[in-house]
Structure 1
Amino acid sequence: MKRAEQQTEGMQKIADLIDQIGVGMLTWDDGTGRLSSRPMLPLEMDADGSLWYFTRLTPDKEAAQGRVNVAFARPDSASYVSVSGRATLLHEREKILSLWSALAEPWFPDGPDDPSLMLLRVDVDDAEFWDASTKCMVRLPYRAPVAAQLDAENGKVLNPQFPAAVV
């Protein structure tokens, strides 16, 4: 996984753990109230703390846009991470090319030009990890440092520095 230097010590700890663990289970509401999950390998954690994935555009992935959770586990080292945030499907050719590697070829044999290849970005707004030394979950004040965002679906302004406020 590519990782940018994170803006806080807590975000760096999460990035280090996710990099060590690898595959996580991405879970979302499929639109009918049913939770769906898929194993996903993060390609990058950018400087804003967002996770980037390759995915194929399918109806269930379209439903994955919105609130999601990604859970990572490596029991042999007692490493567990849970992040939640907002997922967005994107088709940004330059970003696809920058993240492309031979590891993606089994899923996308037509390469980075595969018309069904999309990016899934998870803008993390909450994170926690298991601290084996204290035997408890540690919840981080984790907010990706991005500008205020409008959640038109729920009529709220989302600002990672402050709680959501109704407009």
Structure 2
Amino acid sequence: MGFSMPGGAMATKLILNGRRVSVDAAPDMPLLWALRDVLGMTGTRFGCGAGQCGACTVIVDRAAMRACSVALGDLAGKQVRTIEGLADPKTRRLHRVQQAWVDCNVAQCGYCQAGQIMSAVALLETHPQPTDAQVTDAMNGNLCRCGTYPRVRAAIAQAAGGKA
């Protein structure tokens, strides 16, 4: 990739929420910190820093990924979507998964919800009518200390048109 030295700052070009951006940071910086500290996008949350809780989930080229576990330099040329990129920028209308979260009253404390929503979006983009097993598999790595799992499943079912 042409990195001059590990940890040295360089520009990484990627597509973030539909816009081409260049991020000046060390290529080994986790995407989570590039989003939060370099770009000021705080919707993606820090939970565990080890890729185990799902709070930092984003979508990279249609796949849910933990932003704390992927290096910025590995994302050159890739499409990255965060919670900030889901709502329609023109109408400000919520994404159907976000709206389902509201309708089903999923959030309690809300801390894990951005990651939960991004995992659900990635699931529904690859499996528009997911089976119960696919929902379980997609959401398995997302922890919620408030225990909103039944409402998460209900919201996914609503966003899938009542068939999840």
Q: Give the TM-score category using the shorter length.
A: under 0.3
Higher helix share: 2
TM-score, with length taken from structure 2: 0.27
Higher strand share: 1
TM-score, with length taken from structure 1: 0.27
